[in-house]
Structure 1
């Protein structure tokens, strides 16, 4: 622990190496509270900067800016270990609240309005995308949890899905951070690729929008690509993508049920079992239902969107602070190979569906 911790925990303590004292301070409730508060404050500042840059450059979503900004900070300066509780709180708690509030941006009628053919394509993208990614990851020798994070992130809704899946399967930290970094890299590459390939394949504006919404990882990345395709394509792309986001609920419910079965199978009857359906997923569905009811005025929806963006941006900054070059080097090339294969696989499924029903 650094001298900074001791300054926060007890300003009267003398400066100098005192490992025993530092350890006691770090373990104290006061020291932990200071770490949580300072870590959350750092993420709030990072989110504010990212959102400020986003206002100056509207084409770039603040959540993506936050991940990159956090990664830059992590690799350029030493992040004090004592603020880790605050970073963990932001990356998990704040993110889950943000994911729940994301439901206020979607109405069931929007999804139904796509038509049952498009809905079937969305389900196929998520189910086959996850199944194919899991299979290919197994051939590459990656752990089950690493495959789950990449599969959910690339098939559903990017970093939010990665973190949501981590909340259910409890993956290793390096697996979580690697998956988030891969979503940023490959999803960003898809922004110019989908519009370019749509032109090469001669897709209509609606088909191109469907392909973008069905294949690109992050909601923000879909919006960026949809903007390049045109206004009509952007609307279709956004709704198709949000339909994929809605698939977060059944997928997390399945993973939760699987984890419970595994815990029972190992005889851990007295251990704390993962919930069948995570609370934040229920919150997400509740927000979708609330928005679909038509009871919320437009101003409330707009303010909720701002809060949701701020929470997710703070969480992305916290996740970005864990993305270090040394970490990415240590995991080896296999996760990157799986990310590339998964990107192509999901895009191929989406394009096939577009050509069939679009």
Structure 2
């Protein structure tokens, strides 16, 4: 890198509560001109990823990751850093906030107590499975929480939100990138296999919709998996999946509390506990509340979804472009253990609960 940093350092640092700042330039904000090179390159790559996804029915985020990896050499030019950092920080947060337009409290209440309790159980299983697999294979507990939380909620967008809280001091940039790759691959596999399993087991539409909505990571793929079975299953999958999205804020809040308590314990009993809800999560809740109680035009909702996908795609591509491919190759298969554990346990839990409770 031309910036003088070691290959193991990322271009920014994160505190406990998701407030990211430049490691060397905390007081300096980049100008609009400085943002253009990185944003322009990431934007062009995003359009290419969208074209490949639409033309070949390839998962959008996975296409973005692969294009980002193939163009990682551009990050050697320091002029791209400001734009990549802006995309990985600001655009991803705005994209997550806009997800609040896709769910309402009424949709969650429509689930009923039993399906909602079952959904919580699936999410807990994903978290525990990821942490267990991580520790068994020598990975950190934080890596397990990242993979488990992303699997439990909504895939890459949840991973980005959780990583903003965890910070690169606890999870390396390489581990984070590998987690993104693992989640996109696992979600694509789930999309093709879970509907087949539901059909093979002759699950009802409600059971099949719960299985796909509760166990497939990506929002679009979870809902698409339900509709691949039937329209009724697709409707159930949409409600279940959107309920998972709404639970992003509580999960991030609990994670921030956990990290704050852990930091206090490491610093000693005399340390003052610190906790603050990440600002973008508060905005996410505010948008969700407005969408729940104020009629929002369909045009705004659909435009918000498109904008959210675009921003998250650019953020993912920027993350991949900054990645050190050599470090990813050195990391080995064990770094995928948390994603594997989360995927297997969430599928087993969702299938069992759908079969016996729904």
TM-score (structure 2 length as normaliser)? 0.83
Q: Which residue of 1 aligns with 2:252?
A: 252
> 1:357: how far off?
2.8
1:335/1:217 CA distance change after superposition, 3 Å = same
Q: Which residue of 2 aligns with 1:265?
A: 265
Q: Which runs of 4+ in 1 moved over 6 A?
A: 26-33, 268-274
| The structure with more radius of gyration | 1
For residue 162 of structure 2, the aligned residue among 155, 162, 165 is 165
- Report matched runs for 1:303-318 at 5 Å: 303-318=303-318
Contact kept, 8 Å, 1:181 with 1:323, in 2: the verdict is: no
Q: Which residue of 2 aligns with 1:7?
A: none
Aligned length in residues: 333
Q: Which residue of 2 aligns with 1:180?
A: 180
Contact kept, 8 Å, 1:63 with 1:309, in 2: the verdict is: no
CA distance in 1, matches of 2:26, 2:215: 45
CA distance in 2, matches of 1:253, 1:143: 20
1:148/1:256 CA distance change after superposition, 3 Å = same
Q: Which residue of 1 aligns with 2:37?
A: 38
Deviations 1:309-328 (Å, cap 9, x if unpaired)? 22112112212324565333
- Report matched runs for 1:226-241 at 5 Å: 226-241=226-241
CA distance in 2, matches of 1:30, 1:217: 35
1:169/1:65 CA distance change after superposition, 3 Å = same
> 1:289: how far off?
0.8
Contact kept, 8 Å, 1:178 with 1:323, in 2: the verdict is: no
CA distance in 2, matches of 1:275, 1:243: 25
- Report matched runs for 1:72-151 at 5 Å: 72-74=70-72, 77-82=73-78, 83-151=80-148
Q: Which residue of 2 aligns with 1:191?
A: 191
Structure 1: which 5+ runs fail to align?
3-25
Q: Which residue of 1 aligns with 2:61?
A: 63
Deviations 1:201-227 (Å, cap 9, x if unpaired)? 221233212101111111132134234
1:84/1:214 CA distance change after superposition, 3 Å = same
1:102/1:273 CA distance change after superposition, 3 Å = farther
Q: Which residue of 2 aligns with 1:346?
A: 346
Structure 2: which 5+ runs fail to align?
3-24
1:31/1:311 CA distance change after superposition, 3 Å = closer
> 1:306: how far off?
2.0
Q: Which residue of 1 aligns with 2:284?
A: 284
CA distance in 1, matches of 2:310, 2:163: 21
> 1:53: how far off?
4.0
Q: Which residue of 1 aligns with 2:18?
A: none
